[in-house]
Amino acid sequence: MSGMITVGAVHCLITTLPKCVNIKASKQEILETMLNGSPFTRAVYVTSDDGVLEGIITLQDVLEGLVISLGYNPHEKVKTSQKLFKYSPFGTAGDIMKSPVFVKTNTPLEDALKIMVLQRLNELPVVDEQNKLIGDLNAFEMLKYI
């Protein structure tokens, strides 16, 4: 990477309207949000009523929940959130989300890339100083700046 490029220098060129759902969103709303539009998304961000990032639900989380429902456990232990996703008609985004991993606009792009790799994420939320969601970084788009 030449020079130090920050997330703030590129996140507006990448995604300023990331797909998100309210913390009270239903399983159906989560799936519709992931599948709505083109391209499909690999992560949905969970926000509070005032836009603060509360969590993340990845495509991998959804897929693991679905294969568990088919009787295959990809891990030694079934995660409660994945059981809730498949079996509970009453589960909400708050029940199945993971704690959010995020960057801010002053985060070096190189550090954002490291976080993506360590957390196995293809998309990484960008938040402001109040932890309100302001955009996200897509791994494919980041490649243009590295």
Mean pLDDT of the region 105-128: 90
Confidence of residue 73 (pLDDT cuts 50, 70, 90): low
Confidence of residue 64 (pLDDT cuts 50, 70, 90): confident
The answer to whether 120 touches 56, Cβ cutoff 8 Å, is no
Burial of 61 (0-12, 13-18, 19+ CB in 10 A): buried
Q: Is the pLDDT of residue 58 over 50?
A: yes
Pairing of strands 53-58, 43-47: antiparallel
What percentage of the chain carries pLDDT values higher than 90? Answer: 29
Confidence of residue 68 (pLDDT cuts 50, 70, 90): low
Domains and CATH numbers, the chain: 7-145 (3.10.580.10)
Distance CA 140, CA 143 (A): 5
pLDDT in tens, 75-84: 655 555 555 5
As a 3-state breakdown, the chain gives helix, strand, coil percent values, each rounded to 5, of 40, 25, 35
Which range is least confidently modeled, 54-58, 67-71, 114-118?
67-71
Q: Within 10 Å of residue 95's Cβ, how many Cβ atoms?
A: 16
**pLDDT score of 107:** 92
**pLDDT score of 141:** 72
Q: Is the pLDDT of residue 88 over 60?
A: no
- To which residue do tokens 């509970």 refer? 88
**pLDDT score of 2:** 47
- Whole-model pTM: value is 0.78
Q: Is the pLDDT of residue 1 over 50?
A: no
What percentage of the chain carries pLDDT values higher than 70? Answer: 74
Alpha helices in the chain (DSSP H): 7-14, 27-35, 59-69, 80-87, 93-96, 109-119, 139-142
Q: Is the pLDDT of residue 44 over 70?
A: yes
